[in-house]
A and B are shown apart, each in its own frame.
Chain A
Amino acid sequence: MNAPDLLNQSAADMAAAVRAGLTTATALTHASLDRISATQPRVNAFTAVTVKRALQTAADLDARLANGDTTVQELPLLGVPFAVKNLFDVAGLTTLAGSKIERGKSVAAADAPLVARLHAAGAVLVGALNMDEYAYGFTTENSHEGATHNPHDLTRIAGGSSGGSAAAVAAGQVPLSLGSDTNGSIRVPASLCGTFGLKPTYGRLPRNGTYPFVASLDHLGGFARSALDLALMYDALQGYDSRDSGCVARRAEPTASELALGLNGMRIATLGGYFHDQAGPEARTAVARVAQALGAQQVVELPEVARARAAAFIIANSEGGSLHLPDLRSRAADFEPLSRDRFLAGTLLPAAWVHNAQRMRRWFALRAAELFQDFDVLLAPATPCVAPTIGTEWLHINAQRLPARASMGLLSQPISCIGLPVCAVPVWGCDPALPHLPLAVQIIAAPWREDRVLRVAHHLHMTGAASAPVASLG
């Protein structure tokens, strides 16, 4: 198989091909760079392409292989191209976080720890990706860089805020990417672009070296076209770092080796109530299909989900706004028009509202912990509907008229509010009128049980209930 064809396969297959001498890291890197050049004008996922660095990294890997370096043979992501949301520090690039304001700042002196860890695992960084400004959005309609287009329907949004990260994987530009998720920013674009997406437990992966949005809620994670690829990447990313105030001191708990365990008696239920009421018909269909594929017949409820979602909104609004207060004072006009007024309002929220929201959050986390005494995995839609067209202002969900940009996170926000690990798995053809569009289901587990969400995602992929094909962009 030649490198361009191999680029449409899994990261695991790419690494195996390089390891076996069937291709080279350099050939794969060229294939990725060529694919980016050919599709970037239509998709607009990238804000920077690191051609020189990528080719040098690949050449170094190939030279080590040619010299018989056995350690390089063992690298889990040997020669695999990847890209990162442009809020990750990349040595030599300015960390934009989707903004105009950061453009004049110094370049990053070093890679973020997660970028460095993928590099150390043999992966090849090819660039930085588009996002909603300062991660405050669900659509990646970035006014400074232009909107990222959904590779499966170029008239539609990719979702956000990690829209470039999902679109690059769906477009076959890279098989792996990194993103961040505060209220749904990995799960929403994974749902709309039809990729697998992993948001690990809050506190699992170190966030230092990335531009923050809401320290209380920010998670880092990634995108791939298979659960196995996600597990390989996630295993390479794990490890405590005391420089992140939110990182919890836990040893790495590898998952890729656990995937073959399958469901193995896992107790799985569907979340009803709020998660049913706020889901459109296509989202309900996606969950029903996944539940059927898993033999999950029970429907259970978490209490007070709407209040938990409200708590997440208030915390994000207040912390996010406060973080940018100096720039909001001096150069508000330079902010993204789609989120500027929300940031401004967020600076003004009374402290009592935020304090109550943090108390509500803990109350809700305790209720979820109680539910996880009886179940191992819970299912819920990742988004209420499939990708709307770019510029959509309003959604109509079950006779409700909802603001589109704020509402794409209705179903993801309550889960990230309490830091649970989630794998978004894409299901297709749930909307009979739009059969070419995907919608993801959240596979949710108790804190620190990323192994369970990845095992279920892998089972769904292997049985064909979920898949993440490369978009046909020509």
Chain B
Amino acid sequence: MTPTEIENYVDAAAAALNLPLSPEHRPGVLHYFALASGLADLVAAHPLGVTDDPAESFEPISLSRDAVNKRLT
């Protein structure tokens, strides 16, 4: 992203989240967003296939003591 694209995106995304950015905070926010953008580019440059799943996974929840004990055995 170019510096102008970052400014435009940050202002629009902050507005969408109803997140006020004060004049004293905005330069720092732009700096750190640019840093994250560069790191996101680094990740995006690595080829991943459709079967490369995310590390996050959801596990159905049971509070039953029996279910917990069964898993621990």
| Interface positions of A (Cβ within 8 A of B) | 216, 240, 242, 249-251, 304, 306-307, 310-311, 313-314, 317, 325, 328-329, 332-333, 340-342, 344-350, 353, 355-363, 365, 406, 418
Contacts and interface: CB of A to CB of B under 8 A. Distances in A.
A348 B63 contact: no
A359 B52 contact: yes
B28 A349 contact: no
Given A242-B63, A362-B53, A363-B52, A345 B46 contact: no
Contacts of A344: 19, 21, 25, 28-29, 32
A459 B13 CA distance: 53
Interface in B43-60: 43-46, 48, 52-56
A240 B48 contact: no
A363 B51 CA distance: 10
B19 A363 contact: no
B48 to A, nearest CB: 5
B13 A348 contact: yes
B56 A216 contact: yes
B25 A341 contact: yes
A359 to B, nearest CB: 5
Nearest to B58: A245
B55 A317 contact: no
Contact of A332 (B17, B25, B42, B46): B25
B28 A340 contact: yes
Contacts of A240: 68, 72
Interface string B59-73: 001010000100110
A314 B72 contact: no
Contacts of B28: 340-342, 344-345
Interface string B1-43: 0000000011001100111111001001111110110011011
18 contacts: A242-B63, A249-B68, A249-B72, A306-B42, A307-B43, A307-B45, A311-B43, A317-B36, A341-B25, A342-B28, A344-B28, A348-B13, A348-B19, A350-B40, A353-B43, A353-B44, A356-B48, A359-B52
B12 to A, nearest CB: 9
B69 to A, nearest CB: 9
B43 A314 contact: yes
Given A249-B68, A340-B25, A360 B36 contact: no
Contact of A249 (B14, B39, B52, B71): B71
A310 B72 contact: no
Contacts of B40: 310, 314, 349-350, 353, 356-357
Contact of A341 (B31, B39, B48, B52): B31
Q: Rank and list the top 9 A-B pairs by shortest CB-CB distance, nearest first.
A: A341-B28, A358-B54, A345-B32, A310-B39, A249-B71, A353-B40, A361-B55, A362-B55, A348-B13
A433 to B, nearest CB: 31
Contacts of A242: 61, 63, 68
Given A306-B42, A344-B25, A345-B30, 20 more contacts: A242-B61, A242-B68, A249-B72, A310-B39, A313-B39, A314-B39, A314-B40, A317-B36, A325-B17, A332-B20, A340-B28, A345-B28, A345-B33, A345-B36, A346-B36, A348-B9, A348-B33, A357-B43, A362-B55, A363-B46
A310 B43 contact: yes
Most chain A CB atoms below 10 A, which of B10, B28, B40, B44: B40
Most chain A CB atoms below 10 A, which of B25, B32, B68: B32
B39 A328 contact: no
A447 to B, nearest CB: 13
B37 to A, nearest CB: 8
B71 A313 contact: no
Contacts of A418: 55
B32 A329 contact: no
Contacts of A342: 28, 32
Given A216-B56, A242-B68, A341 B32 contact: yes
Contacts of A306: 42
Nearest to B14: A348
A216 B36 contact: no
B8 to A, nearest CB: 12
Nearest to B39: A310
